[in-house]
Amino acid sequence: MCLACRAPTDPGAAMSGETSIPPSGPLSGLRILEMEALGPLPLAGTLLAGFGADVVRITRAGAAATPDPVVRGRRVMTLDLKSGPGRAMLLDLVAHADALMEGFRPGTMEKLGLGPADCHAANPALVYARMTGWGQDGPLAQEAGHDINYIAVAGALGRIVGEGGRPGLPINLVGDYGGGTMPLLFGLMTALWQARATGRGEVIDAAMVDGTATLMAKQYAWHGQGHLGAPGTNLLDGGAFFYDTYSCADGRHVAVGAIEPKFYAALLEVLDLAPADLPPQHDKARWPEGRRLFAARFATRARDEWVTLAEGRDACLSPVLTLDEAIDHPQAQARASFARAADGAVLPLAAPRFGSMAGQRMQAEGNTETDLATLLDDWAAGRADQDWERT
């Protein structure tokens, strides 16, 4: 549908508020509809907005607000998707959007008359991105779950050793964000590239259980080849004494990752240990012995003393920082890695960085309510400027 020929809509059915064309960036002109959700989807929308996309978050009329400090830099429209007018308004937006992201249980959007077939009837070039824990099919597709459940079934949680041999919890970085947000964004941008070339849209089935398994590619390969030992006995999972964390005299911790011989040698110099004092670096049977010696040595000094001793020596020794310490760390300060929003939230700079985007960051601004007529007028103006108008 040509933007200039869009059907009139009922402005009284939407919320009003001031809006503006989104800031410039490599994704400027990209129009994304984000159905309100938790977990991976909000971060995906914020990253897209941080790079210039116009992200419009659709919230449900009558639903209790779910505060999420990551949700910033968007325009927001509240619609009653169970009503005919609300559904029609969303399909009007779909007709002029590049992509829609949703995170409901499989079948929910279809029940609302807003599934992929309905949306592609309005816009054949639309990229329809679906984010779930288990995927759109399979025996668990309709089961509830959270990050911990998805990474457990993906095999990742069982490889992370915690206290007493219990699986450790990597907060919700692995399933929600590593296995959810990142594959969702990769799939979205891949499908948009395809749609640009072909004019055909796509349906993306992004599942956290699949994304987490993808992150485990090397672990699964080693396992299949018979090269992976039990959890906690391998090079990168806490088995190696030269790739682990240690308590210091002040109760704080350091992380060491001295794998290569030259880095291992530098670490031993920092610790004032001779190779003869320790078992051979790669003698797995004696790694526990090496760990005991390292633990005893690290316990003799405070964390920051070790950091100072290791500075500039390529010993692969780093402090384990609190969030406040990470914000104030010289590396973060030099790269202006964090910004503080008016509501007190600390926001990291958007990653990766583009050389042409000085001061690029995740949006610190709040969200702005909008209405359908204003939004479509903005989109029409933006597309006319860029000569991207659909016919």
Residue where a domain stops, chosen among 272, 304, 320? 320
* 261 and 121 part of one domain: no
* 171 and 124 part of one domain: yes
Q: How many domains does the chain have?
A: 2
> Residues of 230-259 as b/e, b for ≥16 C-beta within 10 angstroms?
ebeebeebbbbbbbbebebeeebbbebbbe
* 131 and 63 part of one domain: yes
* 89 and 162 part of one domain: yes
The domain in which residue 255 lies consists of 243-320
* 102 and 196 part of one domain: yes
Domain holding 197: CATH number? 3.40.50.10540
Note whether residue 79 is domain-resident: yes
* 81 and 209 part of one domain: yes
Q: Is the pLDDT at 262 greater than 70, yes or no?
A: yes
Q: What is the pLDDT of residue 209?
A: 98
* 156 and 292 part of one domain: no
* 377 and 277 part of one domain: no
Q: What is the pLDDT of residue 13?
A: 33
* 16 or 207, higher pLDDT: 207
* 139 and 184 part of one domain: yes
Note whether residue 51 is domain-resident: yes
Active site residues: 146, 176
Q: How far is CA 357 from the centre of its chain?
A: 20
The two tokens of residue 270 are 């920092």
* 266 and 371 part of one domain: no
* 276 and 202 part of one domain: no
Domain holding 267: CATH number? 3.30.1540.10
Note whether residue 17 is domain-resident: no
Q: What is the pLDDT of residue 23?
A: 54
The two tokens of residue 312 are 């500039």
The two tokens of residue 317 are 């020794």
Q: What is the pLDDT of residue 359?
A: 53
* Cα gap 379→375, rounded to integer Å: 6
Q: Is the pLDDT at 189 greater than 60, yes or no?
A: yes
Residue whose structure tokens are 């990209």: 30
Q: How far is CA 188 from the centre of its chain?
A: 13
Note whether residue 3 is domain-resident: no
Burial grade of 154 (CB within 10 A; 0-12, 13-18, 19 or more): buried
Burial grade of 77 (CB within 10 A; 0-12, 13-18, 19 or more): buried
* 213 and 248 part of one domain: no
pTM for the predicted model, two decimal places: 0.87
Dihedral angle of Cα 97, 98, 101, 106, to the nearest 10 degrees: 90
Tens digit of pLDDT for each residue in 136-165?
999 999 999 999 999 999 999 999 987 788
